[in-house]
Amino acid sequence: MTKAQPTYLTADGRLVTLGPPLGRGGEATVFTVAEDPGLAAKIYRQAAPESERKLAAMAKLTNPRLLRYTAWPLQALYTEAGLPAGFLMPRVEGARPIHLLYGPKSRQIHFPEATYAFLTHVAANVARSLAVVHDAGHVVGDVNHNNILVTPAGTVCLIDCDSFQITAQGETYPCHVGVSTHLPPELQGQSLRDRLRTANHDRFGLAVLVFQMLFCGRHPFAGRPQSSEEVSIERAIQAFRFVYSLKRPDRGMQKPPYSLDLTCFPPALAEAFEQAFSPQGVAERPSAVRWVKLLEQLAQELLRCRQKPHHWYPPLASSCPWCAWEAEGVFFFLAPQSRPGTAWLTRDVEAIWSEVRQLGPPPLELPSQALRGPALPQADPRFPWPLAMAGGVLSALASFLLPWGWALLACWAMGMLWQLGRAWRRSRRRRQLETQLREAEAQYAELVQTWQRGLAELERLKQRAAELYRLWTAIEKQKERLIARAHQRGRQLQLQRHLQQFAIADAHLEGIGPSRKETLRSFGIETAADVTRDAIRQVPGFGPHLTQVLVAWRNALEQGFSFRVDPAVLRRAVESAPEWSSLVQRQLQLGQQLSAIRKAARQQVARLNRLRADLEPKARALMGSIAEWRKQLDGREGGRPARS
């Protein structure tokens, strides 16, 4: 039924079966776990030998507080040969890398509802997550935009915890990695191998991320260079050239256009950025806890725009910056009505569908011969009445004819009694066994039916999901057609405009002189855009040859045209189509239904797994008794053939 999935073992011998993969990184792939939908397994392509001890140490350090903020390793996993393979961790659902939130463009797709207040809230949660790790005595090391995940509810989870620098029982397990845009100046250009990392290093990365959250994805060290020099982010970090600094006038870089000023923020928060990015920061930067306080404070003080209630902005800005920039065509936060009506992306729906489709518990493993066993012999073999009767008649005759005949008769009577008694006991025992056997078999059938009912329920959910997915893709096709039509119209318009640039009056056309051109003009044919075979056929004096000349001219001009899609224009055109919003609405519903079905299906798989754990031992016990009783029954009646 299900194909064999790779399995691994935990240190205490528990079997872990991999389900569909959730994601793939440079060194490992993360899988779902068939036994428990709440877990994920990270399997290395090549497990580093030192990882085993580190993971085992980390598993021991697990605590509920860490688990609220991180995908902390719960148990190391081994291959069946006992080699380290990866680890089990809590599964994080529906969360996305933080860069998809702080980048304005990707935010509109992945977090369309997010306001500046949401960003501030999430930034504080990022600081909380680091504070928790630091408090436990560890260092994240590789703080970056890809390994902090954000849920739609605004909570965060640190992933890739196996790369953290861990300190346990006096031993330190190092962190070898880092992303340069989030590394402090003291680590820039240095080898990270075996370098002792500190919480103060993490605080730099945290300050960069908080900055990116509050400044709409801008990096604190990327600006407009004022000379022709090429300044990379790394070199700017090393030289402490914090572009937004109010204290360092000698940065050589200006703030980028459409970016906030540090002066928009409460002085304490501005000062924290200055401190984190300054030479003094090398000794000490604002701690994660400090950032939590500052960001909580900021969240309290945010202002709300009077014109557009979805615009929240920093407290010391003179007016709503988002409104001002919208007037110039830069949209940082989408108004509720103009948000792409669906938070359900095709990719999400595909992922849900492919997960549901593959959901299924490992099959129930039962000894199957029981149900195919030989049919029970229907009844007792008959008592040999004719023989007994014949014996009776003979011994009765003998008792008359022979002197000691009565003794023969008595022997016969005793023999009869003994035989009858034995037959009676045997048939009682047999009835007993038969009853037990029938009951056991009924119980067994009941177990199998329970299992099959569970499977059928899962199957029903899957069929429903298939139906929903089919509807979804049908709508997707309709949307694609609308987009293609808008695209085509846009192309047509642009082509028209392109061709309108070429006046017939200015063109060198073989056999078409000024007077013929004048004739064309009087028929409204003035530019290449007006040239069609049908239009020219109406003009007197233009036969097939001249028509061909004009059409060829137009076609040559058309060759030089290249279509430039303006995504904003295209989107407006698509969204103004009357059927668009109903399609989007319908997809929204379908997406929600599909996601609900996935939840139900996952629960059903978990239920089946529990059921199996309960059923298998019971079924095995029943099967044992059934086989034993059957043997006993067969032994009495069918013993002879077995012996022969």
Residues tagged active-site: 142
Q: CB 517 → another protein: shortest distance, Å? A: 28
| 159 Cα distance to chain centroid | 14
Q: CB 108 → another protein: shortest distance, Å? A: 8
Site for another protein contains 259 (CB under 8 A): yes
In the list 382, 564, 640, 643, the residue contacting another protein (rule: CB under 8 A) is: 564
Q: Which stretch binds another protein (CB under 8 A): 4-12, 49-57, 440-448, 558-566?
A: 558-566
Nearer to another protein, 407 or 568 (CB): 568
Q: CB 123 → another protein: shortest distance, Å? A: 17
Cβ atoms within 10 Å of 302's Cβ, excluding its own: 16
**DSSP sequence for 438-468:** HHHHHHHHHHHHHHHHHHHHHHHHHHHHHHH
Nearer to another protein, 330 or 474 (CB): 330
Site for another protein contains 391 (CB under 8 A): no
Q: CB 105 → another protein: shortest distance, Å? A: 4
Within residues 465-504, the interface with another protein by CB under 8 A covers none
Q: β-strands 75-78, 171-173: how paired? A: unpaired
Nearer to another protein, 372 or 564 (CB): 564
Q: Which stretch binds another protein (CB under 8 A): 153-161, 280-288, 472-480, 564-572?
A: 564-572
Closest CA to 72 of 52, 89, 54, 57: 89
In the list 273, 322, 332, 444, the residue contacting another protein (rule: CB under 8 A) is: 332
Distance CA 351, CA 20 (A): 10
* Polymer length of the chain: 644
In the list 169, 191, 378, 562, the residue contacting another protein (rule: CB under 8 A) is: 562
Nearer to another protein, 179 or 466 (CB): 179
In the list 61, 100, 136, 600, the residue contacting another protein (rule: CB under 8 A) is: 100
Site for another protein contains 238 (CB under 8 A): no
Q: Per-residue b/e over 88-124, b at no fewer than 16 CB within 10 Å?
A: bbbbbeebebbbbbbbbeebbebbbebbbbbbbbbbb
Task: Report how many residues bind another protein under the rule CB under 8 A.
Answer: 44
Site for another protein contains 20 (CB under 8 A): no
Distance CA 73, CA 90 (A): 8
Distance CA 479, CA 345 (A): 13
Distance CA 329, CA 65 (A): 44
DSSP state of 595: H
Nearer to another protein, 492 or 603 (CB): 492
Written as six digits, the tokens of 562 are 């290249």
166: β partners? 173
Q: Please tell me the chain's helix, strand, coil percentages from 3-state DSSP, rounded to the nearest 5.
A: 55, 10, 35
Site for another protein contains 443 (CB under 8 A): no
Q: Three-state secondary structure along 175-225?
A: CCCCCHHHCCHHHCCCCCCCCCCCHHHHHHHHHHHHHHHHCCCCCCCCCEE
Nearer to another protein, 102 or 353 (CB): 102
H helices, E strands: number in the chain? 18, 15
Distance CA 531, CA 499 (A): 9
Q: CB 256 → another protein: shortest distance, Å? A: 3
Q: CB 490 → another protein: shortest distance, Å? A: 11
In the list 44, 240, 258, 406, the residue contacting another protein (rule: CB under 8 A) is: 258
Site for another protein contains 235 (CB under 8 A): yes
Site for another protein contains 181 (CB under 8 A): yes
Within residues 204-233, the interface with another protein by CB under 8 A covers 216-219, 222-225, 232-233
Q: CB 136 → another protein: shortest distance, Å? A: 29
Written as six digits, the tokens of 432 are 């007993």
Site for another protein contains 146 (CB under 8 A): yes
Location of structure tokens 């990116």: 212
Distance CA 465, CA 268 (A): 52
Contacts with another protein by CB under 8 A lie at: 97, 99-100, 103-106, 145-146, 179-181, 216-219, 222-225, 232-235, 243, 253-259, 325, 328-332, 559, 562-565, 567
